[in-house]
């Protein structure tokens, strides 16, 4: 069975986007952090996105600026298999992307039963909330950023039941970020 991991940044007050949906505050140019993200990108897998995050990622990673700033990450982002969940998109235009219009939870259940590498969700808060509610997420890699936004959106908007998680590991970075890795106990 394929493993499904969430990799998202949040603020100290629990938001993963600001009130306008912006996540740029999470992107820092720190050598230690950049080395970690480069190593993380090399681990592979299939990337899962909602349409909004897909459009945001597609607007950056295939650009010359992305290749200059983070060449290894840009290469992986552009070449890894991707799935975008959208009922409104007609055709994905980013390399190596499949469009899934079906029920998200049922689709991910099928995908988890397929052979292949792990799957990773980045951003895509509504997807995270829907899949968490269905106990389909195996691991949460949460990057806690040392800032507060005051207002924004959480990854878990709409969760009706408590999520039981177990801390697996932590890592503090010199830029103040702290990586918290949790295993789902559901």
- Determine the pLDDT at residue 38: 67
Mean pLDDT of the chain: 91
CA distance 82 to 155: 20
pLDDT greater than 80 at residue 44: no
Query: Are the C-beta atoms of 121 and 127 separated by less than 8 Å?
Result: yes
Judged by average pLDDT, the poorest of 43-47, 53-57, 182-186 is 43-47
pLDDT greater than 80 at residue 39: no
Q: Which two tokens stand for residue 129?
A: 């909330």
- Determine the pLDDT at residue 141: 94
Burial 56-83 (b: 16+ CB within 10 A, else e): bbbeebeeeebeeebeebbebbbebbbb
Residue bearing the bigger pLDDT, 180 or 39 = 180
Fold for the domain defined by 4-184: Dihydrofolate Reductase, subunit A (3.40.430)
pLDDT tier at 42, thresholds 50, 70, 90: low
Domain ranges of the chain: 4-184
Please provide the size of the chain in residues. Answer: 186
User: Which H/E stretch holds residue 38?
Assistant: helix 31-41
Q: Which two tokens stand for residue 127?
A: 């997807």
User: What proportion of the chain, given as a percentage, has pLDDT over 90?
Assistant: 70
pLDDT tier at 14, thresholds 50, 70, 90: very high
- Determine the pLDDT at residue 41: 60
Q: Which two tokens stand for residue 81?
A: 């298999």
Each residue of 129-143: pLDDT tens digit?
999 999 999 999 999
What pTM value is reported for the model?
0.91
Strand, helix or coil for residue 12: coil
Q: Which two tokens stand for residue 31?
A: 């050598």
Q: What is the mean pLDDT of residues 77-97?
A: 95
Q: What is the mean pLDDT of residues 65-91?
A: 92
């Amino acid at each position: 069975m394929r493993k499904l991991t969430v990799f998202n940044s949040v603020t100290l007050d629990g938001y993963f986007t600001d009130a306008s949906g912006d996540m740029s505050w999470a992107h820092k140019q720190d050598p230690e952090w950049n080395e970690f993200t480069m190593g993380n990108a090399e681990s592979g897998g299939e990337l899962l996105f909602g349409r909004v995050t897909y459009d945001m990622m597609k607007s950056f990673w295939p650009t010359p600026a992305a290749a200059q700033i983070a060449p290894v990450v840009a290469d992986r982002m552009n070449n890894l298999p991707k799935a975008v969940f959208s009922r409104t998109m007609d055709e994905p235009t980013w390399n190596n992307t499949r469009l899934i219009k079906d029920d998200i939870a049922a689709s991910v259940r099928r995908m988890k039963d397929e052979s292949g590498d792990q799957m990773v969700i980045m951003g895509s808060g509504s997807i995270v909330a829907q899949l968490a509610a269905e106990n389909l997420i195996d691991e949460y890699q949460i990057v806690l950023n040392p800032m507060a936004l005051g207002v924004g959106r959480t990854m878990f908007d709409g969760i009706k039941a408590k999520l039981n998680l177990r801390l697996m590991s932590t890592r503090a970075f010199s830029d103040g970020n702290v990586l918290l890795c949790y295993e789902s106990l559901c």
